[in-house]
Amino acid sequence: MSAEVETALLRQFTPLNGLKRDNLVALSRKVQLRELSPGQVLFKEGDTEKRTIYVVSGTLELVDQGKVAGTIVGGTDPAKNPVSPVFPRELTAKARDRVQFVSIDSDLLDVMLTWDQTGTYEVSELQGEGDEAEEDWMTMLLQTKAFHKIPPANIQAIFMRMQQINYKSGDIVLKQGAEGDYFYVLIRGRALVTRETPLSKDGIKLAELHVGDTFGEEALISEAKRNATVTMTTDGAVMRLGKEDFKKLLNEPMLDWVDRSEADKIIANGGQWLDVRLPSEFENAHIDGAVNIPLYFIRLKMNMLDKDKSYVVCCDTGRRSSAGAYILNERGYNAYVLRGGVSTQS
């Protein structure tokens, strides 16, 4: 399926229809149209794999303790929303007939939604020149576990502060034994990681680096010397982030995270749930008593909030809500972030 057709298909679903065009195109590269045979199980009750699933065609049965509790038919209004979006899954999903569906990594989708609503730049503006694989370095980076652990407000600052450096084949990007100064992301070309030993002055090959791979963080975290040399094996380029920015933005959590029980205590003491997802997501499912201010409106509507009240900011996973809480805290509000988001059972 071509990117244009795929993008048109994705725009039928919520909240994908809220993404900017270029960001939706970037997401579409990570999406496949898949198929189930009649009777085939898509997921089982209790499954924890975080995939956001949409039914494109056919009928998907939702089964609770052996009994059909509901169906989702492709092309209908219910099919515009994700299938059973709570993790672990509360139901089993099984195909009644031939079912076509779209499956998206939930973490990637949430990061893309966050970036779309908070970023000064669109994804396409941050991508390098070259073929599709080379242009997709940022999407690859956003999928790394390290980026899943940091507040999305930091993600925006990281990309704004990164500096692009071009290299020729054979150039040394960093040298074993040198002081750690930058964190790197390879955005074009390939590189080789080698480590010199007493028995091998030419260096032992440790790894090959490809577009989207990161390196250099060990020395920054441990305050140690570089433990290997990275040499370009082709012409290429990296994005680099300075040591202090790395430590501040990637290595130091800056928000107050709370679990559901802690959040309930804050609410019981006069706090307020603040849901920063899109209105369509909020209407589909939300915590009782929550107020909905979409993330992209929060700067405009924060004057509606009470600075004497504590807010527990929530979304699907915590990424968008951490961005919202960051904005509120920066402006003098008392905001917490719900750990795991509303899609995680309490």
CATH number at residue 179: 2.60.120.10
213 contacts 230 by C-beta, under 8 angstroms: no
| Whether residue 244 is found in the same domain as residue 124 | yes
Number of domains comprising the chain: 3
Take residue 253 and report the two structure tokens written for it: 């959590």
Last residue in a domain, options 47, 75, 105 = 105
Position 4 scores a pLDDT of 45
233 contacts 190 by C-beta, under 8 angstroms: yes
Give 119's pLDDT tier (boundaries 50, 70, 90).
Answer: low
Summarize pLDDT for 136-160 with one digit per residue, the tens: 677 677 765 556 656 767 777 888 8
- Helix, strand, coil shares of the chain, percent, nearest 5, are 35, 30, 35
| Whether residue 65 is found in the same domain as residue 159 | no
Whichever domain contains 315, its CATH number is 3.40.250.10
| Whether residue 213 is found in the same domain as residue 165 | yes
pTM of the model: 0.67
Position 144 scores a pLDDT of 58
| Whether residue 139 is found in the same domain as residue 215 | yes
Percent residues over pLDDT 90 in the chain: 47
Does residue 346 sit within a domain? no
Summarize pLDDT for 12-55 with one digit per residue, the tens: 999 999 888 888 887 887 788 999 999 999 999 999 998 999 99
Summarize pLDDT for 161-219 with one digit per residue, the tens: 889 999 999 999 999 999 989 989 898 999 998 888 777 777 788 888 988 887 887 67
Tell me the residue range of the domain where 286 lies.
257-338
Separation of first and last alpha carbons in the chain: 39
- Per-residue pLDDT, averaged over 261-288, amounts to 95
Q: Is residue 205 classed exposed, middle or buried when 0-12, 13-18 and 19+ CB atoms within 10 A define those classes? A: exposed
Summarize pLDDT for 290-337 with one digit per residue, the tens: 999 988 788 778 889 999 999 999 998 887 888 788 778 767 799 999
Q: Return left, alpha or beta for 282; rule: phi > 0 is left, psi -120 to 50 is alpha, else beta.
A: alpha
| Whether residue 214 is found in the same domain as residue 135 | yes
- Per-residue pLDDT, averaged over 6-11, amounts to 90
Does residue 188 sit within a domain? yes
| Whether residue 237 is found in the same domain as residue 264 | no
Which active-site residues does the annotation give?
A: 315
| Whether residue 287 is found in the same domain as residue 176 | no
> Token pair 């229809």 is at which residue?
17
Q: Which of 101-105, 113-117, 125-129 has the lowest mean pLDDT?
A: 125-129
Does residue 115 sit within a domain? no
Last residue in a domain, options 249, 272, 291 = 249
